[in-house]
Amino acid sequence: MKPHPQKSPLTGTEIVDEYFIENRTRLLEIAAFLDRVDRVDLTVASRDFRMQVLAEAVAALAAKSDRLMRIQMLLSDPTIEPLDRLDRKSALGAFDRSSHPEVRS
Amino acid sequence: MKYIDHHAHMVSRTTDDYQQLALTGCVAVTEPAFWAGWDRSCGDSVEDYFRQLTEFEPKRAAMFGVQHYTWLAMNPKESDDRELSRDVLQRIPKFLDRPTVLGIGEIGMNRITRNEIATYTEQVELAIEHDQLILIHTPHLEDKLKGTRISLDVLARYRELKPERVMVDHAEEHTIELIRDHGFWAGLTLYPQTKISPQRAADVIEKYGPERICVAGACDWGPSDPIAVPRFAIEMRRRRHADALIERVIFENPVRFLSQSPKFKVTISTPEPARVG
């Protein structure tokens, strides 16, 4: 289906005026979280697959376009094969690519 | 501004939340059958829950002038249990004639196991057999993309299924085109953490337009917001979008989808609930 966009009535400067502070806050929260982890364990960021994906996602923010879609795909399970049996009840928030060597980052 | 929340787990909420819904302009909620946060021990337990959905909740909602409708199903979180699922599925048909039951939902997958797919497939067939609307839950977080793809693949096997009678819920940016390209309705779930924020939902409307998109709060027993839909409306107004566009997304679109069931009594001209309570 062809999308029919509804362009934001706000100008670029108006969007920055309206949303800068809350996104400044979000950025500082991410930085504080990464520092908090490092203060306790300098190795977990390189060991935990969730932290590895988070680092890739942060790097994706520097892309020139489609940042959100890039991050959604980084976090998603790209496989199509169902599980043979239930392993756990809840999702973890990121896909562990190390458990699927056939899947490239 | 009047609105409909097509996905609200009101059994988990207080009567005060119904009052909040009414005070913020909610005309109707539809409540899909879902997971209680723990696994039920038997089919009788699920059947009691269906009675709660079809008998008790409409009365609580009516206290504040809110119409309450429901969807019945074996929920995705317990659907890996094939024995319980078979038991529940054979109990559903006797509830389908009740006046507030709109269809089969929320069906779908959780961790995308072969058992979950089997239960989901049987529920699609149940809906087709009884000419019911379908509400589909797509999995959380990293499982969403895979679960959406497989859910749609199953639907594609049934040529008699009309896509406009199916809403694929909990859509996000990476699944919405897939859903709408197949002719289905897409639901955006406004959640504080694990789904989509009012800001990102407004971005989706700006990027893809309002055709066949509804928004809902999906409030339940976890962190969630019973008045998430009006917060989305406020976000759209913050961006100076026209009230006509906002009303289309939060009221007219759900009326169009849900009115495909003759039991759904809200029309475009239905007024806001009386400010009572």
Which of B114, B177, B239 is nearest residue A84 as measured by Cβ atoms? Answer: B114
Contact B208 A4 (CB under 8 A): yes
Number of structural domains chain A divides into:
1
Query: What does the pLDDT average to over B72-81?
Result: 98
Q: Average pLDDT, whole number, for chain B?
A: 96
- Asked, as a colleague might, if the bond just before B164 is cis with ω within 30 of 0, I would say no
pLDDT tens digits for B6-36? 999 999 999 999 999 999 999 999 999 999 9
* Interface-testing mutation among B79, B82, B83, B111, with chain A (most A C-beta atoms within 10 A): B111
Distance from CA of B132 to the nearest CA of A (A): 25
Rounded to whole angstroms, the Cα distance separating A12 from B65 reads 42
Distance from CA of A100 to the nearest CA of B (A): 14
Helix (H) or strand (E) holding B70: strand B67-72
pLDDT tens digits for A13-66? 999 999 999 999 999 999 999 999 999 999 999 999 999 999 999 999 999 999
Return the higher-pLDDT residue of A1 and B55: B55
Tell me whether residue A70 is in a domain: yes
Cα angle A19-A21-A24, degrees, rounded to a multiple of 5: 105
pLDDT of residue B275: 54
Between the two ends of chain A, the Cα-to-Cα distance in Å is: 29
Residue of A nearest to B109 (CA): A82
Note whether B71 and B106 are within 8 A (CB): yes
Q: Residues with Cβ < 8 Å from A6, sequence gap 6 or more?
A: B205, B206, B209, B210, B241, B245
pLDDT of residue A14: 97
Name the pLDDT band for B144 (thresholds 50, 70, 90).
very high
Query: What does the pLDDT average to over B130-145?
Result: 97
Quick one: which of B136, B37, B49, B61 has its CA closest to B88? B49
pLDDT of residue A105: 55
Contact A77 B173 (CB under 8 A): no
pLDDT of residue B274: 62
pLDDT of residue A2: 62
pLDDT of residue B192: 86
Contact B141 A9 (CB under 8 A): no
Contact A89 B110 (CB under 8 A): yes
Residue of B nearest to A4 (CA): B209
* Interface-testing mutation among A76, A81, A100, A103, with chain B (most B C-beta atoms within 10 A): A76
Quick one: which of B237, B236, B240 has its CA closest to B215? B236
Q: Residues with Cβ < 8 Å from B161, sequence gap 6 or more?
A: B124, B128, B134, B155
pLDDT of residue A104: 62
Residue B277 has pLDDT above 50, yes or no: no
Return the higher-pLDDT residue of B6 and A101: B6
Instruction: Tell me the three state secondary structure of residue B69.
Output: strand
> What is the extent of the structural domain holding A39?
12-76
Distance from CA of B207 to the nearest CA of A (A): 5
Tell me whether residue A42 is in a domain: yes
Tell me whether residue A48 is in a domain: yes
Contact A95 B142 (CB under 8 A): yes
Q: Residues with Cβ < 8 Å from B42, sequence gap 6 or more?
A: B84, B87
Residue B276 has pLDDT above 60, yes or no: no
Name the pLDDT band for B193 (thresholds 50, 70, 90).
confident
Q: Residues with Cβ < 8 Å from B190, sequence gap 6 or more?
A: B196, B197, B198, B201, B215, B216, B217, B218, B225, B228, B229, B231, B232
Rounded to whole angstroms, the Cα distance separating B265 from B117 reads 33
Residue B207 has pLDDT above 50, yes or no: yes
Contact A89 B111 (CB under 8 A): yes
Q: Give B108-145 as a DSSP string.
A: E-SS-BHHHHHHHHHHHHHHHHTT-EEEEEPPPGGGHH
Name the pLDDT band for A1 (thresholds 50, 70, 90).
low
Contact A1 B211 (CB under 8 A): yes
pLDDT of residue A101: 76
Tell me whether residue A103 is in a domain: no
Tell me whether residue A20 is in a domain: yes
**Structural domains of chain B sorted by starting position, each given as residue range(s) with its CATH number in brackets:** 3-258 (3.20.20.140)
**A87 to chain B: which residues are within 8 Å by CB?**
111
Tell me whether residue A94 is in a domain: no
Residue B179 has pLDDT above 60, yes or no: yes
Residue B153 has pLDDT above 80, yes or no: yes
